[in-house]
Structure 1
Amino acid sequence: MITRVKNQIVQGKHNKPILTDVFYDDTKKEQAVVIFCHGYKGFKDWGAWDLVAENFAEAGFFFIKFNFSHNGGTIKEPIDFPDLNAFGKNNYLIELDDLCSVLDWVAASGSLYKKFINTQKIILIGHSRAGGITAIKASEDIRVSKLITWASVSDYESRFPKGEVFDRWKKEGVYYIENGRTKQKMPHEFQFYTSYEENKERLTIARAVKNIRIPHLIIHGTADPTVDVQEAKEIHTWNPESELFLVNEADHVFGAKHPWNHHKMSKDLTIITEKSIEFTSF
């Protein structure tokens, strides 16, 4: 029987809660753990992520998904972005710390889940921007057994504003990106850039991928309009031992959207979920 526990609080390092969901089969012991990390302007309850979680749990995995502490959600409103102040203060280091906090929570496992979790088998899945976060963490944390990236970016530096937009950002201390779905003006404080520059070596995805010594599955859609498929091919060249799995004509979210009002996943999301489950089997 699949048990679903929503909106548990994991204490992080930055005075913001990390809201966490777990899905697992309560009849099985010592299940391998899958930790799913959402991407930019994402959240754990986006679209069909619950269906992904259920599929992994039905396949015998203890599946965890969570909101990064500064993704803009709150305890009372974990969906969408009621806390734009927190969103503006987010950066890559905070997201790495959040993922570390979730890994620490899994390692401790607690009395409630201890018998269900095998802490020697931990798989990270990162979508889009979080593909880079999970790759960096996988390269530096020996607790991670396998890595899967979905539609991952290959670098962070090229995504910062350029020219006059950058100069205005530096001068004013904040710039805004419109959320196409919610129409919110989402802020980025200039510290987002300076924290990257101050930690550039650690935050270079190419460096991290070249240092990965565990199985790595790279999944990407060939028609991704947000992160070009060439970025997946580039990541693959940095780690020739990795596996590259391309989904013909798939987009950035593999046919899903938010809200997702269906009982089944999209065709492409089903394909990549099944492929990921196959890859995560020990």
Structure 2
Amino acid sequence: MGQQTLAAESFRLPLENGLFIEGQVRVPPGVDPAPVVLLSHGFRGHKDWAFWPEVSGRLAESGFYTVSFNFSRIVAHSAAGIAEREAAEAATLSRELDDLQQVLRSLRGGRLPLAERADPVRLAILGHSRAGGGNIIFAAEHPEVQALVVWNGGSAPARTPGSGQALTFQERVLQLDQERNKGRFDLEHALSFLSAAALVIQGDQDRDSLLQQNARFREQAPQHRYYSVRGADHTFNTTDPYEGATPELNEALALTLEFLHEQLG
């Protein structure tokens, strides 16, 4: 990548209870404000996990004001002084949506780095894994989002109390969040009523639950675009530590770039 041509600056957004969101903005060369893409990592990932630095760099090189960030659960599970319940609640999907709202609010308020280079009216969000599902909800609730890209996204896997092993405290908190927000977290319903254009990319070697959910997406929201990447697993066959882009990742990224340029100009 030719990232020497990019401007990049880090940021930190303070939250309550000692939590914060940290991230980085990458901006293409030039003087015109660029369309914005917010990147949301998966439940077990972070902004620097595996393919994310390369993906964010290549999006910026292609002309987008690109924002990658860590959800607040990352600091909640690593910082000293965070109570167990606060750390558990930071990992819920509700909190993930709140964090994304904070990033969007900071973007629209001109409080992210290099804000003069961003055109927040031309806005897209891209999420992987659980964040792909969360981004469906977020886009449905935020009509200012013009384009949505979902990579291997959907509901997070969950154990049930009858699976032979007691749920951890974290799992109980996650389950309670799901139960309290059953209607809000209905991804098929949210996608079917989504006003933004959506591109849903799914590896055909991903776990069965996501393949089944992808089939329901196609059935209940046929107005959106769907693409199956042949031979791709949940991470498009990449690894962490990262060993470079795979053909499957390059395919997903090429489709994403084409879609975003078409939708945002």
Shared fold per TM-score greater than 0.5: yes
Name the structure 1 match of 2:253.
Answer: 273
Name the structure 1 match of 2:166.
Answer: 168
What SS does the aligned partner of 1:190 have? helix
**Structure 1, unaligned runs of 5 or more:** 78-82, 170-174, 176-186
Paired letter, 1:11: P
CA distance in structure 2 between the aligned counterparts of 1:195 and 1:49, rounded to whole angstroms? 27
Name the structure 2 match of 1:56.
Answer: 59
Evaluate the alpha carbon distance shift between residue 280 and residue 191 of structure 1 in structure 2; reply closer, same or farther with a 3 A threshold. same
Instruction: Return the match for 1:230 from 208, 212, 215.
Output: 212
CA distance in structure 2 between the aligned counterparts of 1:28 and 1:230, rounded to whole angstroms? 45
Paired letter, 2:63: G
Q: Is the 8 A contact 1:18 1:66 kept in 2?
A: yes
- TM-score normalised to structure 1 length: 0.82
The structure where helix makes up a greater share of residues is 2
CA distance in structure 1 between the aligned counterparts of 2:215 and 2:110, rounded to whole angstroms? 36
- How many residues are aligned here? 255
Q: After superposition, what is the alpha-carbon deviation per residue over 1:180-239, rounded to whole angstroms, capped at 9, x for unaligned?
A: xxxxxxx61522222221221111212211220110000011111375433222212222
CA distance in structure 2 between the aligned counterparts of 1:17 and 1:110, rounded to whole angstroms? 15
Decide which moves more: 159-168 or 192-201: 159-168
Paired letter, 2:94: L
1:5 aligns with 2:9: yes
Percent identity at matched positions? 24
Name the structure 1 match of 2:128.
Answer: 127
Paired letter, 1:33: V
What SS does the aligned partner of 1:43 have? coil
Decide which moves more: 60-69 or 253-262: 253-262
**Structure 2, unaligned runs of 5 or more:** none
Shift in Å at residue 28 of structure 1? Answer: 3.5
CA distance in structure 2 between the aligned counterparts of 1:116 and 1:166, rounded to whole angstroms? 53
What SS does the aligned partner of 2:114 have? helix
Q: Is the 8 A contact 1:19 1:75 kept in 2?
A: no
- TM-score normalised to structure 2 length: 0.87
CA distance in structure 2 between the aligned counterparts of 1:123 and 1:219, rounded to whole angstroms? 15
Shift in Å at residue 166 of structure 1? Answer: 8.2
Evaluate the alpha carbon distance shift between residue 151 and residue 112 of structure 1 in structure 2; reply closer, same or farther with a 3 A threshold. closer
Q: Is the 8 A contact 1:18 1:68 kept in 2?
A: yes
Name the structure 1 match of 2:203.
Answer: 221
Evaluate the alpha carbon distance shift between residue 15 and residue 96 of structure 1 in structure 2; reply closer, same or farther with a 3 A threshold. farther
Shift in Å at residue 14 of structure 1? Answer: 6.1
Paired letter, 1:139: A
Give RMSD over aligned pairs.
2.5
Name the structure 1 match of 2:140.
Answer: 139
